[in-house]
């Protein structure tokens, strides 16, 4: 008996890319390109404005310019009637209102953004003043700057997806040269089978289990395999259910061949029972089709009876011309003299025939392992084999004593990354691997074991079992993330030591995707989206909420100002953080993952917070970790940041750290931390500012380049979350250097 890898090799050696076919590009999504696509024209085709503003001649600014017309995207330049100047005027001094995407008119070479002009005589006065210099080409996309004429846009072998289609569309390439998609015909075999979606059943709303004959079952395989074939990129043909009768089988297969199928996929009837006729039919024992069987059993579980053959019509062939294509096993047939109307006469290679086992799980697994790769090869994929990855077993799995097993499993990255410390296999090499969970009882009739299955674990033959925590290889059989929960693999951040605090501050904030505008300290905005934002809060155990306090003091909620005791709860902090960051553009589009980590502040607050911050950063791949408002002084939070350095956050300079620790010790000595919130208030306020600035600025931790964003830790001294966040983030990123420089040892 051959092994599964051998079986895949044999199938792929018999499947070849199909002939080229041209089709409109929008229809080519999912196909593989047979030849490269080059750009017939440059993009942009004209010098285009990047901004809404005024087209100018760079040599004229700074200065005040006359507005002589308008150029809007899609419209020709409209000149003001009064304008008598010409392009060649030595004394240019003119500007044209321009919108993003509009052609920059001849004689102009730069665009001044609307935000950078003033209107000395009011908006309609026909003049704009520009205070800054702009170089030629500023805010202008030159001809061909995105795509050059003749540039290779797509390569032969590229698979056309939505983005490739977009590229072709942008370049104005209307037609794609691809490989033809194979036609895959699917049939089920078995006297016991009834169609669950038969018209008669669909017509009656009250279909019940009783409408099945006592010895019948519903045909699952055909519908499943048709969908599998479509998903693999094939066109499909439904051959229906064939009775367990050799002539019926031969007839169905002949219909597929007649229709020009490239592959026939049957299920059932390939094992050893006296009604299992498919192998004999494929061998040609029943006329009309004949072929060569390459293999009829594979050493695997599930799916042992998997059969693979190549077939063609025998002498009575009327519609298929077979010619030598240089492939061994090709069969020459007669001419297509009386082919049915409209049927294309074409070169015909042999047809691939797959006899999948009848048990639905076996059919699904063998389709994924051999039929789908064959379809992809015919489509022109360079590497049509299933993708392989590694995973960590979530539980012990007993091995089959006789055959290697393809065990269905779902993947979970979060569990392996998040609570990694809680697993007993927490060694560094495995931290980025997903956790593989078995889908349960693996008997080949139990199709629910395919539910959500993303991979087939490649388990060796027994005896014994594979232990939880082992790294196993797995073949991907569908898009990962289908089991709900995580949609994307996540990779844990790696803590790296900074080279210098300066570098760290910049690296961390840029990793977090946040930049602050130095000319406006009130503005913090995102350069790109944060991956995830973790918020660590620590509501004090005995503290009353701000609204409770306000109620007690008989103050209406609406009048409630910032109170100096108590904390908002985790949900409030999270909500405020969201609002703030959304406004800053950090979390636009809602793709940031949010998590709240609450640390109870009973004792050892700072350490608990630091630990929580670290856990948050690690388990959520956070770009930003906020240690959220903790009361008026925020001392615990700042101390947590300090303590965090012990836990791996690089950060405060030793002297600052000592000062903070001293301050913290003094304010908490002998006191119940809960009854009297310690504060740095009253201490040297410059030092306090500096401490805060440093904490904000430097208490991040680094990044594993390119993979994750790293983390920024901020402690935010206020009970008004939103204010505090604004303050904290601003300070964190743009604290003036002189505030803290002298204090760094
Ligand atoms: P076979 O390979 O024909 O011996 O079938 C093996 C098992 O799979 C039997 O229990 C069949 O009833 C079942 N089976 C075969 N074809 C299908 C199908 N299309 N849908 C659901 N079960 C099937
Ligand atoms: Mg059967």
Tell me: pLDDT of 447 over 90.
yes
Which of 698, 714, 710, 411 is closest to 531 using CA atoms? 710
Between vectors from CA 194 to CA 189 and to CA 199, what angle results, nearest 5°? 125
Produce one character per residue of 596-625: b if its CB has 16 or more CB atoms within 10 Å, e if not.
Answer: bbbbebeeebbbbbbbbbbbbbbbbbbbbb
pLDDT score of 124: 72
Contact yes or no for 633/679 (Cβ under 8 A): yes
Lookup: tokens for 201: 């059943």
- Give the closest ligand to the alpha carbon of residue 245: 2
Q: Phi, psi at residue 348, to the nearest 5°? A: -125, 120
Produce one character per residue of 299-312: b if its CB has 16 or more CB atoms within 10 Å, e if not.
Answer: bbbbbbbbbbbbbb
Provide mean pLDDT across the span 430-447: 87
pLDDT score of 39: 97
Contact yes or no for 457/472 (Cβ under 8 A): yes
Contact yes or no for 188/182 (Cβ under 8 A): no
DSSP assignment of 209-234 equals GGGS-TT-EE--HHHHHHHHHHHHT-
Tell me: pLDDT of 46 over 90.
yes
pLDDT score of 440: 95
Tell me: pLDDT of 462 over 80.
yes
pLDDT score of 483: 59
The full 3-state SS of 629-690, as one line of letters, equals CCCCCCHHHHHHHHHHHHCCCCCCCHHHHHHHHHHHHHHHCCCCCCCCCCCCCCCCHHHHHH
**pTM, to two decimals:** 0.64
pLDDT score of 579: 57
Residue bearing the CA closest to ligand 1, atom 5: 358
Share of the chain above pLDDT 70, in %: 55
Q: How close is the Cα of 219 to the center of ligand 1, in Å?
A: 8
Determine whether the shortest distance from the Cβ of 444 to ligand 1 is under 6 A. Answer: no
pLDDT score of 567: 44
Task: Categorize the per-residue pLDDT at 369 as very low, low, confident or very high, splitting at 50, 70 and 90.
Answer: very high
- Give the closest ligand to the alpha carbon of residue 191: 2
pLDDT score of 600: 44
pLDDT score of 122: 79
For all residues of the chain together, what is the average pLDDT?
Answer: 70
Adjacent-strand bridge partners of 241: 188
pLDDT digits (tens, 9 = 90+) for 95-143: 999 999 999 999 999 999 998 999 988 777 689 999 999 999 999 999 9
Instruction: Name the more confident of 743 and 308.
Output: 308
pLDDT digits (tens, 9 = 90+) for 150-188: 999 999 999 999 999 999 999 999 999 999 999 999 999
Tell me: pLDDT of 551 over 80.
no
Query: Where is 117: in which H helix or E strand?
Result: strand 117-118
pLDDT digits (tens, 9 = 90+) for 713-729: 333 333 444 454 444 44
Residue bearing the CA closest to ligand 1, atom 6: 358
pLDDT score of 283: 85
Q: How close is the Cα of 352 to the center of ligand 1, in Å?
A: 22
Q: How close is the Cα of 433 to the center of ligand 1, in Å?
A: 36
Provide mean pLDDT across the span 519-535: 41
Provide mean pLDDT across the span 203-220: 78
pLDDT score of 306: 97
Range in 87-91, 537-541, 568-572 with the lowest mean pLDDT: 537-541
Instruction: Name the more confident of 8 and 712.
Output: 8
Tell me: pLDDT of 532 over 70.
no
Range in 386-395, 540-549, 679-688 with the lowest mean pLDDT: 679-688
pLDDT score of 667: 43
Lookup: tokens for 280: 């004999």
Burial class (CB in 10 A: 0-12, 13-18, 19+), 455: buried
Q: How close is the Cα of 218 to the center of ligand 1, in Å?
A: 10
Residue bearing the CA closest to ligand 1, atom 10: 359
Q: Which residue has the tokens 């009656």?
A: 204
Lookup: tokens for 377: 């090869």
Range in 484-493, 613-622, 630-639 with the lowest mean pLDDT: 630-639
Q: How close is the Cα of 360 to the center of ligand 2, in Å?
A: 11
Tell me: pLDDT of 367 over 80.
yes
Provide mean pLDDT across the span 397-405: 94
Tell me: pLDDT of 3 over 60.
yes
Provide mean pLDDT across the span 473-482: 87
Distance CA(67)–CA(54), nearest Å, equals 8
Adjacent-strand bridge partners of 64: 129
pLDDT score of 208: 62
Mutate to test the pocket of ligand 1, among 241, 243, 267, 446 (most ligand atoms within 8 A of CB): 267
Produce one character per residue of 424-436: b if its CB has 16 or more CB atoms within 10 Å, e if not.
Answer: ebeeeebbbbbbb
Q: Which residues contact 398 (CB under 8 A, 6 or more apart)?
A: 462, 464, 465
Distance CA(658)–CA(652), nearest Å, equals 9
pLDDT score of 514: 39
Instruction: Name the more confident of 73 and 567.
Output: 73
Which atom of ligand 1 is the closest one to the Cα of 220? Answer: 20
Share of the chain above pLDDT 90, in %: 46
Which atom of ligand 1 is the closest one to the Cα of 305? Answer: 2
pLDDT score of 316: 46
Task: Categorize the per-residue pLDDT at 350 as very low, low, confident or very high, splitting at 50, 70 and 90.
Answer: confident
Determine whether the shortest distance from the Cβ of 355 to ligand 1 is under 6 A. Answer: no
Mutate to test the pocket of ligand 1, among 186, 188, 190, 196 (most ligand atoms within 8 A of CB): 190
């Amino acid at each position: 008996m051959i092994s599964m890898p051998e079986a895949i090799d044999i199938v792929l050696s018999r499947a070849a890319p199909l002939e080229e076919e041209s089709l409109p590009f929008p229809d080519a999504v999912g196909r593989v390109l047979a030849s490269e696509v080059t750009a017939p024209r440059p993009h942009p085709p004209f010098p285009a404005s990047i901004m809404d503003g005024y087209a100018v001649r760079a040599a004229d600014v700074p200065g005040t310019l006359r507005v002589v017309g308008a150029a809007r995207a899609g419209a020709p330049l409209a000149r003001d009637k009064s304008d008598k100047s010409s392009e060649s005027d030595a004394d240019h001094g003119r500007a044209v209102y321009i919108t993003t995407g509009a052609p920059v008119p001849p004689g102009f070479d730069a665009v001044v953004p609307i935000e950078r002009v003033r209107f000395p005589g009011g908006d309609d006065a026909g003049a704009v003043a520009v205070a800054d210099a702009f170089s030629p080409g500023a805010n202008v996309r030159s001809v061909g700057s995105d795509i050059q004429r003749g540039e290779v846009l797509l390569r032969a072998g590229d698979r056309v997806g939505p983005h490739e289609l977009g590229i072709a569309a942008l370049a104005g390439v209307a037609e794609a040269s691809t490989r033809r998609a194979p036609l895959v015909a699917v049939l089920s075999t078995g006297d016991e089978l009834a169609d669950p979606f038969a018209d008669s059943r669909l017509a009656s709303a009250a279909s019940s289990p009783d409408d099945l004959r006592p010895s019948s079952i519903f045909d699952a395989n055909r519908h499943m395999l048709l969908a599998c074939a479509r998903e693999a990129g094939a066109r499909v043909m439904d051959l229906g259910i064939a009775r367990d009768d050799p002539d019926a089988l031969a007839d169905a297969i002949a219909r597929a061949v007649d229709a020009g199928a490239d592959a026939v996929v049957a299920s059932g009837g390939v094992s050893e029972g006296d009604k299992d006729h498919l192998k004999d039919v494929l061998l040609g024992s029943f006329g009309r089709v004949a072929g060569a069987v390459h293999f009829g059993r594979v050493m695997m579980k599930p799916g042992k009876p998997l059969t693979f053959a190549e077939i063609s019509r025998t002498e009575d062939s009327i519609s298929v011309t077979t010619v030598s294509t240089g492939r061994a096993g090709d069969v020459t047939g007669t001419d297509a003299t009386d082919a049915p109307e409209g049927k294309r006469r074409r070169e015909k290679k042999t047809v691939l025939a797959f006899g999948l086992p009848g048990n639905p799980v076996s059919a699904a697994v063998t389709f994924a392992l051999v039929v789908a790769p064959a379809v992809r090869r015919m489509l022109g994929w360079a590497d049509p084999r299933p993708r392989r990855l590694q995973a960590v077993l979530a539980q012990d799995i007993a091995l089959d004593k006789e055959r290697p097993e393809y065990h269905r499993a779902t993947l979970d990255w979060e569990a392996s990354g998040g609570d990694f410390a809680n697993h007993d296999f927490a060694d560094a090499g495995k931290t980025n691997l997903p956790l593989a969970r078995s889908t349960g009882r693996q008997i080949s009739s139990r199709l629910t074991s395919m539910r959500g299955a993303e991979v087939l674990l490649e388990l060796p033959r027994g005896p014994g079992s594979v232990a939880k925590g082992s790294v196993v290889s797995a073949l991907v059989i569908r898009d990962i993330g289908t089991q709900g929960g995580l949609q994307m693999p996540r990779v844990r951040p790696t803590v790296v030591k900074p080279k210098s605090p300066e570098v760290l501050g910049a690296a961390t904030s840029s990793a977090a995707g946040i930049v602050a505008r130095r000319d406006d300290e009130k503005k913090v905005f995102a350069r790109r989206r944060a991956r995830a934002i973790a918020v660590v809060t620590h509501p004090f155990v005995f503290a009353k909420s701000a609204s409770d306090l306000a109620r007690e003091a008989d103050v209406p909620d609406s009048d409630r100002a910032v109170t100096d005791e108590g904390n908002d709860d985790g949900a409030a902090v999270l909500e405020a953080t969201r609002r703030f960051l959304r406004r800053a553009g950090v979390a636009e589009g809602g793709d940031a993952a949010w998590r709240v980590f609450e640390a109870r502040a009973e004792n050892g607050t700072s350490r608990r917070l630091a630990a929580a911050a670290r856990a948050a950063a690690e388990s959520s791949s956070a770009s930003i970790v906020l240690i959220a408002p903790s009361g008026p002084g925020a001392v615990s939070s700042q101390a947590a940041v300090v303590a965090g350095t012990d836990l791996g956050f690089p950060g405060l300079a030793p002297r600052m750290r000592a000062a903070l620790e001293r301050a913290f010790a003094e304010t908490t000595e002998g006191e119940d931390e809960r009854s009297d919130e310690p504060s740095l208030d009253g201490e040297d306020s410059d030092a306090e500012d500096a401490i805060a600035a440093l904490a904000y600025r430097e208490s991040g931790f680094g990044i594993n380049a390119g993979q994750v964003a790293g983390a920024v830790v901020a402690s935010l001294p206020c009970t008004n979350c939103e204010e505090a966040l604004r303050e904290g983030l601003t300070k964190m990123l743009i604290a003036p250097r002189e505030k803290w420089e002298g204090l760094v040892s």
